[in-house]
Homo-oligomer: A and B are copies of this chain.
Amino acid sequence: MEKQDKKPKRWSLEDIRDYLSQHDIRSSVYRLKIFEYLINDRTHPTAEEIYKHLKKELPAISPGTVYNTLRLFLEKKIVQLVNVEKNQFRFDATLSWHGHLKCLGCGRVFDLHIENLKLSGLEGFEIFEKHLDLKGLCPECLKRKNI
């Protein structure tokens, strides 16, 4: 039998409301929807991408709200920054230790499972954050290139 990909559970708005509350964040329609997009779609979007995505469903939303909310989420540590972009922040609501690969062809940001990482020269240091970021091409873009 083939190993099956674990299908990540989709968070309901109620799940998110509880989660925000547990982290001392008051809920609002926008906050719920921004977090929902991050946690369920998992595309590591920029603030602008989140804004454009939500504007379809909630046309009254303003970019400031997205920026404010993301800053709040960072402060409360329920999202992390992804460093694959030169001039823009990308956001991830998945906090477990994993890496990222940005495909330079299609722009998608893929999650990487890190099986093993051993560093030396860190004796006496205290670590708060770790980021592993790759750039490359995904299989689809490689195939397209070689046609």
Which residues of A come within 8 Å of B, CB atoms?
81, 83, 86, 89, 99, 101, 104, 110-139, 142
Contact = CB atoms under 8 A, between A and B. Distances in A.
B99 A119 contact: yes
Nearest to A115: B118
State the main secondary structure of chain A at its contact with B.
strand
Contacts of A110: 121, 125
Nearest to A145: B126
A135 B128 contact: yes
27 contacts: A81-B86, A83-B133, A86-B89, A99-B119, A101-B122, A110-B121, A112-B122, A113-B119, A114-B117, A114-B118, A115-B119, A115-B120, A116-B117, A117-B117, A117-B118, A123-B139, A124-B138, A125-B142, A127-B134, A127-B135, A127-B136, A128-B134, A128-B137, A129-B134, A130-B132, A132-B132, A133-B133
